[in-house]
Structure 1
Amino acid sequence: MSTRELATPMALPALEASRRWLLAQSALLGISAVLLYAIFDGTDLDRLLTHTLFDAELGLFPLRRSWFLEAVMHKAAKQVTYVLVAASLYLCWQGWKARLSWLPPRNALLAALGMAVIPLATAGVKMLTARYCPWDLVEFGGYAPYLGLFDPAPAGIKAGQCFPAGHASTGFLWIVWAVALRPAGQRTARRALILGLLAGAILGTARMLQGAHFLSHTLWTLWLAWAVSVSLALAVRADIRLGKRRAG
């Protein structure tokens, strides 16, 4: 019996497992999109939460000019992200050259593309929607009305470009590694997912405290990063089989 004949029966279960994972992710993306829309466009949850951060007497968000939130969590965090992405791209290059056993070439391509496409996709969606930042809204001392997800900008007012949350995307872009590192094992992939979720949540929360975004803006950014990661994995035919847990 040839090596090819021996390998084929073993490859079929792995292929089926990959297909099941992709189908499950697609279903979860669909369900979560419906839930996000129903919760945030069907209720006033966004504005209710944001009102807790707004000082009605002063007519402003007290933390908007916070040195820590602006200088550290906004500007400095963005610069640190650039450095980390550059370092990660070097790892992707090594993986693409098959020099890393834990990062197959196609997965290295997935990670590199994801780190670039997730922020670009976020910026692209901003151009397609007209939603304003909380600090732009009349009820928060601004000039614009609150808009639903598919509402156009009112006549005479420039469309908003605050949805989804761009700064949060610089944290959520790391989620692509949770997919790219699946061959390295469940623990490694899970750690990458947790780090991506934490980074995006922290950066997104910082901007929400300043009045720059609603909670829904950040959560939709997470959804978009997740959708891009799964779509790219399919497009580049990355190895998404979950590797066995390594000893130690």
Structure 2
Amino acid sequence: MPTVTRQRFYLVNIGFPLLLAGLLFCIFDLTNLDILISNQFYDPATHSFVLEHDRAFEKLTHKLPRILPDTTGEVSVIGMLLSFLWPLLQRATGGRRIALLESIRLAPALRWFAAHRRDFLFLVVSIAVTTGVVHYFKSHTSVWCPVETTLYGGVHEKREWFENFRLLHEAGEGRCWPGGHASSGFTLLALYFVARRYRWRFTRPLLLAVMVLGMIYGSTRVPQGWHFVSHTFWSGIIVWLTMFGTALAFYGRERLSQPIAFEGTLPSGAASVPVTAG
């Protein structure tokens, strides 16, 4: 099967997200839709959101879900470090020690990590870059969360991100845009790009699962008053564009534009593709 054309590749991966960003800007940022939705979860009598003080909900939807992205990041770092171990052992140890590793079946595992060094490097770098970009926008827009605004009993004026954006320096102390909790779920898109590189047949279901997960991570903060709905959508767009740019730098357009393989295993020769840090 032929690869996707250059125009279609960039149209799908950059043009479509930018189109969604334009629609999002018009539908949410230029209207009061965010406020209308959050109002449905706010009780004026108690001056609080319905789930703002629910500790069980907070633990279930905010603290426990962090395990998944945190574990992914930790495993990626460990895998990256192990990927450098096999070449070092080959240079620093004699044949007997290598034979010992072979006998206890550690050598195949170490060779596997070394062969997938680029993938582990990509996971670590992409998650780090994406986290940095999200924090950049948080500090350079200074958007306050709903519960912190005067609309819902807070002391800060509600502002849209573009009203207070500063390119080169921090805009203030607000740190609510884009959604940080949602972005932690969306960072698992790094796994999608690794799967896309190898044309894994479950690549598209993985993409769908990660997008749904990120939406759940972000949307559960709305009835707590800690985010507006649009914050989650913006988080998804920002993370996608950042992840895509990093994947493009690591793997190249030709590799990422290959059609998905529908057979049960990876395409022949996939494991033999050079994956050094380059």
Indicate the TM-score class for this superposition, using the shorter chain for normalisation.
Answer: 0.7 to 0.9
One-letter code of the match for 1:245?
Answer: F
TM-score of the superposed pair, with normalisation by structure 1: 0.81
CA contact (8 A) 1:178 1:191 kept: no
Matched, 1:72 2:60: yes
Range with bigger deviation, 38-47 or 198-207: 198-207
Aligned-CA RMSD value? 2.9
- 2:203 & 2:79 partners in 1: Cα distance? 16
One-letter code of the match for 1:99?
Answer: W
- 2:260 & 2:82 partners in 1: Cα distance? 20
Equivalent residue for 2:145, pick from 133, 150, 161: 133
Matched, 1:185 2:202: no
Equivalent residue for 1:39, pick from 27, 36, 53: 27
Partner in structure 1 of residue 250 of structure 2: 236
- 1:163 & 1:83 partners in 2: Cα distance? 24
Partner in structure 2 of residue 6 of structure 1: none
CA contact (8 A) 1:172 1:225 kept: yes
Matched, 1:52 2:70: no
Q: How does 1:1-248 map to 2 (within 5 A)?
A: 14=3, 17=5, 20-90=8-78, 99=112, 106-152=118-164, 159-185=173-199, 187-238=201-252, 239-240=255-256, 241-247=258-264
TM-score of the superposed pair, with normalisation by structure 2: 0.73
CA contact (8 A) 1:185 1:246 kept: no
- 2:9 & 2:82 partners in 1: Cα distance? 27
CA contact (8 A) 1:184 1:242 kept: no
Gaps in structure 2 of 5+ consecutive residues: 85-109, 166-170, 266-278
CA contact (8 A) 2:126 2:247 kept: no
Q: How many residues matched?
A: 232
Report the CA distance between 1:99 and its aligned residue: 2.6
- 2:6 & 2:112 partners in 1: Cα distance? 24
Report the CA distance between 1:55 and its aligned residue: 0.4
Range with bigger deviation, 178-187 or 216-225: 178-187
- 2:29 & 2:204 partners in 1: Cα distance? 31
One-letter code of the match for 2:225?
Answer: G
- 2:49 & 2:79 partners in 1: Cα distance? 41
